[in-house]
């Protein structure tokens, strides 16, 4: 299964290459709707590596962010972010690098 994930847009070329290698990405794509954006197309090995990293990442998000908000604030945040999640896929016509 191929997975597309966004990669930080302000990385220097060498940093982008390092992330691409770390994530075992088979390609990176320019975002068709935002020139600052880059997508990484993961191989199965890269997808597995990303899944193994999720628990540590989620623990950090909970520790440094989510636990500081009330349930009502988290609900509002989820509502505000939901439209962004729908856009978190590369648009047709993204150019491979």
**Residue in the structure block whose two tokens are 């623990």:** 59
Nearest by Cα to 29 from 19, 21, 18, 40: 40
Taking the complete model, does pTM exceed 0.75, yes or no? no
Whether the CB-CB separation of 16 and 28 falls below 8 Å is answered with yes
CA 45 to chain centre: 16
Which residue in 61, 65, 84 sits closest to 73, CA to CA?
65
pLDDT tens for 44-70 read 888 888 889 899 989 998 898 889 999
Show the tokens assigned to 85: 């999640």
Express each pLDDT in 4-43 by its tens digit. 555 555 667 787 778 778 777 777 777 777 777 777 788 8
Look at 24 and 97; give whichever has higher pLDDT: 24
Euclidean distance between CA atoms 18 and 53, whole angstroms: 16
Whether the predicted pLDDT of 96 surpasses 70: no
Residue 2 has pLDDT above 70, yes or no: no
Q: Return the DSSP state at 32.
A: S
| CA pair distance 13, 2, nearest whole angstrom | 23
**What are the domain boundaries of the chain?**
3-96
């Amino acid at each position: 299964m191929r997975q597309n994930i966004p990669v930080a847009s302000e990385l220097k070329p060498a940093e982008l290459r390092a992330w691409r290698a770390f994530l075992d990405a088979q390609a990176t794509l320019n975002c068709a709707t935002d020139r600052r954006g880059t997508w990484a197309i993961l191989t199965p090995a890269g997808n597995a590596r990303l899944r193994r990293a999720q628990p540590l990442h989620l623990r950090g998000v909970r520790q440094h962010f989510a636990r500081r908000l009330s349930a009502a604030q988290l609900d509002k945040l989820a509502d505000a972010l939901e439209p962004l999640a729908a856009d978190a896929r590369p648009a047709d016509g993204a150019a491979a690098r």
